[in-house]
Amino acid sequence: MLYMVIERFKTAGAVEVYRRAKERGRLMPGGLEYVASWIDFDFTRCFQLMKTENEKLLNEWTSHWTDLVDFEILPVQTSDEAMEAIQSRL
């Protein structure tokens, strides 16, 4: 299952987030896969695509970052999957 993780940095500029990531890595548990991410130009938000079959792993991962980041996590599907799911209604 894919998840879009919207991260809102608590401190503008995301310096502390990048510092921790540089020093300690992503701090992801096994079974959680990083797919891709995008950062806005103000360094206030990150949009991160993650993959896992165990949604609880997302909570384990985010627990390492909640002092620096507020998270919104949304299950998502690819456009191809969406087209297949809605095909009978077209």
3-state helix, strand, coil in the chain (%, to 5): 30, 35, 35
> How many structural domains are present in the chain?
1
Under the banding of pLDDT at 50, 70 and 90, the label for residue 13 is confident
Nearest CA among 17, 78, 77, 75 for reference residue 46: 17
Bridge-based pairing of strands 69-76 and 33-39 is unpaired
How far is it, in rounded angstroms, from Cα 18 to Cα 26?
10
Region 7-30 average pLDDT: 94
Instruction: Tell me the CATH number at 20.
Output: 3.30.70
With contact defined as beta carbons under 8 Å apart, do 19 and 30 qualify? no
Q: Which domain holds residue 26?
A: 2-89
Region 3-32 average pLDDT: 95
Question: Taking the complete model, does pTM exceed 0.85, yes or no?
Answer: yes
Region 46-53 average pLDDT: 98
pLDDT at 43 over 90: yes
